Amino acid sequence: MHDMRFNIPGKDLNLEPFALKIPDFQKKCEVMITDKGYKSRITNIVPLSDHERLFLLRIVDPHERELFNFRPGQFLMLEVPGYGEAPISISSSTSNHEFIEVCIRKAGHVTSALFEAKQGAMVSIRGPFGTSFPMEEMQGHSVLMVVGGLGIAPMRAPLFWIGNHRDRYKDVRLLYGAKEPSQLLFDYQFEEWQKVSNVDLLTIVEKPDDSWKGNVGLITALFDEFTLEPEDTYAIVCGPPIMFKFVCNHLDKRGIPMNRMFVSLERRMHCGMGKCCRCMVGSTFTCLDGPVFDYWSVMNLKEAI
């Protein structure tokens, strides 16, 4: 009798060309081993505050290092083998192809393990994923960046970008607020941003200590400190949801169109690829359609803020 055994094309999927290739996360819609990350070494750990550190990662394989190109605002999935994965926004300059910087707060068990890890530790990264800030669209206009607390992490990439192409933008202003002076991260770069990148930097804290001589209050208090031309300004807002709600409402009143304000949302993510549905906001995936949204879209998303 005829052989009734069902033998099929998918049997040797492990041997198919895609299975032997290094995944390139920029190439969407192609079958890839999306669960295999780029092996990376933690080359340096910079303490920023009691709870935040900057990790410098270097992708070990030169070919993989070349594949990893990102845009300001995108994020990666950082895997600490054994401990799991967490979505982390990329905090370095897009022109830095040697090292990837990520600014991490100790929050869950993955980041806690990372805080225990030593220089030289081997981790894995997948990505980049998600949408980015429209840096080209902003060219020829003024840019207002509003940052609360750890929101500085996703803001550094656009800051570096603007620094590298400063002549393409008009006035660039960075408003940076935190609870306490010690939580103003990257203060060692403030001077560079002001002098080299010609960014007008205003800082503010809620709870000053004795040495603090600057502004005190909520970030919205800084809005009286400057004038802006709403028709000619783009805004990027990064921080806790409650903050960007207030900030965007204010900017809306000042006349900046909602589709020229950009925010970065954070949600729990498990896959980063629009499948696990953990990061859904309304009917939208934060990992695919975000994390960068214009404020008009956010306003239209159910349960976004």
Partner 1 sequence: MIYKVISKPEFKAFIDAIVRVNNAYGPCQVEIDAKGKPIYQFKPVKSADEISFDYTVTHSSAKHFFLPFRDELSSFTFTDGNWEQEVRYDAPPTILIGLRPCDINAINILDDVMLHGPYPSPYYLARRKNTFIIGMDHLPLPDCFCKSMNRHTVNHGFNLFCSDIGDRYYLSINSANAFSFLKEFKIEEPSYEDNCNLIERRKSIKNSFETNVEVTGLPVFLDIEFDSPIWQKWGDKCLSCGSCAMVCPTCYCYSVEEKFDIDLKGSSRQNHLYSCNLVDFAQVAGGHNFRPRNGDRLKYRYYHHYRGFAANDNQQICVGCNRCGRACLANINPKDVINDLRLERESCTTCVSTSPEKT
Partner 2 sequence: MNHLGFKLDKVKVGSFDFTCCEGCQLQLANKESTLPEFLGLIDIRNFREISSERHDDYDIALVEGSITRSDEIERLKAIRAQAKVLVAFGTCACFGGVNSLKNRIPQEEAIREVYDGKKIETMPSMKISDIVEVDLSIPGCPVSKDEVERIMVGIVTRSAVSLPKYPVCVECKQKLNTCLFDLGEICLGPITRAGCDAVCPTGKTACLGCRGPAEDINFPSFEELVLDRKLSISDMKEKLGFYNGFGDYLDHES
* Residues near partner 2 (CB under 8 A): 80-84, 108-109, 112-113, 116-123
Which has the closest alpha carbon to 263: 233, 290, 289? 290
| Angle ∠(100,105,108) on CA atoms, nearest 5 | 110
Q: Which stretch binds partner 1 (CB under 8 A): 22-30, 47-55, 193-201, 225-233?
A: 22-30
| Tokens coding 207 | 């709870």
Q: What is d(CA 154, CA 158) in angstroms, rounded to the nearest whole number?
A: 8
- Name which of 249 and 300 has its Cβ closer to partner 1: 300
Residue 119 contact among partner 1, partner 2, none, beta carbon within 5 to 8 Å by kind: partner 2
Task: Select from 21, 22, 30, 119 the one that contacts partner 1 (CB under 8 A).
Answer: 30
Q: Which residues contact 201 (CB under 8 A, 6 or more apart)?
A: 173, 174, 176, 190, 193, 194
User: For the chain, how many residues are written?
Assistant: 305
**CB of 46 vs partner 2, minimal distance in Å:** 16
Instruction: Please tell me whether residue 20 binds partner 1 under the rule CB under 8 A.
Output: no
Contact in structure between 93 and 41 (CB atoms under 8 Å):
no
Instruction: Please tell me whether residue 122 binds partner 1 under the rule CB under 8 A.
Output: yes
Dihedrals phi, psi of 69, to nearest 5 degrees: -120, 135
Count residues binding partner 1 (CB under 8 A).
59
Residue 267 contact among partner 1, partner 2, none, beta carbon within 5 to 8 Å by kind: partner 1
**CB of 286 vs partner 1, minimal distance in Å:** 11
| Tokens coding 267 | 């949600």
Instruction: Please tell me whether residue 305 binds partner 1 under the rule CB under 8 A.
Output: no
Rg (alpha carbons) of the chain, rounded to whole number: 21
Instruction: Please tell me whether residue 37 binds partner 1 under the rule CB under 8 A.
Output: yes
Residue 57 contact among partner 2, partner 1, none, beta carbon within 5 to 8 Å by kind: none
Q: Residue 23 in 3-state DSSP?
A: coil
- Name which of 109 and 253 has its Cβ closer to partner 2: 109
Which has the closest alpha carbon to 187: 171, 203, 198, 172? 203
| Tokens coding 69 | 């190109």
Task: Select from 89, 91, 94, 124 the one that contacts partner 1 (CB under 8 A).
Answer: 124
- Name which of 111 and 183 has its Cβ closer to partner 2: 111
Contact in structure between 37 and 77 (CB atoms under 8 Å):
yes
Contact in structure between 140 and 166 (CB atoms under 8 Å):
no
Instruction: Please tell me whether residue 255 binds partner 1 under the rule CB under 8 A.
Output: no
- Name which of 221 and 280 has its Cβ closer to partner 1: 280
Contact in structure between 72 and 132 (CB atoms under 8 Å):
yes
Residue 301 contact among partner 1, partner 2, none, beta carbon within 5 to 8 Å by kind: none
Residue ranges binding partner 1 (CB under 8 A): 1-11, 13-14, 18-19, 28-37, 39, 79, 81-86, 107-108, 111, 120, 122, 124, 266-268, 270-271, 273-278, 280, 282-285, 288-289, 302-303
